[in-house]
């Protein structure tokens, strides 16, 4: 897992980054390996309530949402929007029954009306929707290295960072591109 050497995202968006990174594609490590691990992650991030423990089906939905959010983060890095990712997010939005609650203080919050795991996953979607509204969402990206896809927060001035880590993924891809150019040049001769 790459070290985050740049500025951290806002706390709520850090929760989304952490959720996406529960599946480490580079190492193959799955941090949500079973329903108990999902329950523990939700509790650690203040998303668990008094609902029953997640089931295997709940875990499957959580992992599907995680991968959909990873695809949306990849879209922030310039990849085409994934229709499957958008469909998965929309399906979970409906299950979570997200709505807007207006406060006496003039505030408005996006909240899930569902209970249990659907409420927890709805809270994650509410964070994403709020980040989209406040402009921080486009800075959460997935690494351009297709073997990595680690989520990171792009705090660069130009907002054009492509790699979770220039020292690891950036270097790996630059070396790969160099070798491919060398092979192409050798074939021309």
Q: Identify the structural domains of the chain with CATH numbers, from first to last.
A: 11-188 (1.10.3300)
Between β-strands 151-153 and 140-142, what pairing exists: parallel, antiparallel or unpaired?
A: antiparallel
pTM of the full predicted structure? 0.85
- Blockwise average pLDDT, block size 10, the chain, 189 residues: 61 96 93 96 88 91 98 95 96 97 96 95 97 95 91 84 64 59 67
Predicted pLDDT at 20: 98
pLDDT of residue 170: 55
Q: What's the farthest any 2 CA atoms get from each other in the chain? A: 75
- From residue 89, alpha-carbon distances to 47, 112, 134, 169, 188 in Å are 18, 14, 19, 28, 48
pLDDT of residue 180: 62
């Amino acid at each position: 897992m790459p070290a985050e050497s740049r500025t951290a995202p806002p706390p709520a968006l850090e929760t989304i980054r952490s959720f996406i990174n529960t599946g480490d594609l580079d190492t193959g490590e799955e941090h949500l390996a079973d329903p108990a691990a999902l329950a523990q992650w939700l509790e650690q991030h203040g998303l668990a309530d008094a609902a029953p423990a997640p089931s295997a089906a709940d875990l499957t939905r959580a992992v599907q949402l995680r991968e959909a959010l990873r695809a949306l983060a990849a879209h922030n890095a310039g990849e085409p929007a994934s229709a499957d990712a958008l469909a998965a997010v929309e399906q979970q939005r409906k299950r979570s029954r997200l709505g807007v609650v207006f406060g006496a203080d003039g505030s408005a919050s996006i909240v899930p009306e569902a209970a249990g795991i659907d409420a927890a996953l709805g809270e994650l979607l509410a964070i994403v929707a709020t980040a989209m509204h406040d402009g921080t969402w486009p800075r959460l990206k997935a690494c351009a290295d297709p073997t990595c896809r680690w989520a990171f927060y792009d705090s660069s001035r130009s907002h054009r960072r492509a790699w979770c880590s220039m020292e690891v993924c950036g270097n790996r891809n630059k070396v790969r591109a160099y070798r491919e150019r060398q092979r192409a040049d050798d074939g021309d001769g």
